[in-house]
Homo-oligomer: A and B are copies of this chain.
Amino acid sequence: MQTPTAPTANTALPFSVHLLPHLLDQDLLLGSVAVVIDLLRASTTITTALAVGAEAVVPCATVDASRQLATQLADKEILLGGERQGVMIAGFDLDNSPAKYTAERIAGKTIIFTTTNGTAAIDAVAAAERIVIGCFANLNALLDVLIRDGRPVRLICAGTNGEVTVEDALCAGAIANALWTQHGCPDIKDDQTALAMSLWESAGKDRETFLSTLRNSYGGRNLRQLGLDSDIVIASHWDTHPIVPELSTANHTLYPATDTHEDYPVLLQPPKWYTIKPPNLSPPSL
Using Cβ atoms and an 8 Å threshold, which residues of chain B touch A169?
Answer: 191, 195
Is the pair A86, B4 in contact by a Cβ cutoff of 8 Å? yes
Using Cβ atoms and an 8 Å threshold, which residues of chain B touch A198?
Answer: 198-199, 202-203
- Interface residues on chain A, size class: 35 or more
Residues of A that sit less than 8 Å from B by CB: 1-4, 6, 9, 19, 23, 40-42, 83-87, 96, 115-117, 160-161, 163-166, 169, 187-189, 191-192, 194-195, 198-199, 201-203, 213, 216-219, 221-223, 225-226
Of the A-B pairs whose beta carbons lie under 8 Å apart in the complex, a sample of 20, sorted by A's number, is A1-B40, A1-B85, A1-B86, A1-B117, A1-B223, A2-B86, A2-B160, A3-B85, A3-B160, A3-B161, A3-B222, A9-B163, A19-B19, A19-B195, A163-B191, A166-B191, A166-B195, A191-B218, A195-B199, A198-B199
Nearest chain B residue, comparing its CB with the CB of A1: B86
Q: How long is the Cα–Cα vector from A83 to B4 in the complex, in angstroms?
A: 11
CB distance from A22 to the nearest CB of B (A): 10
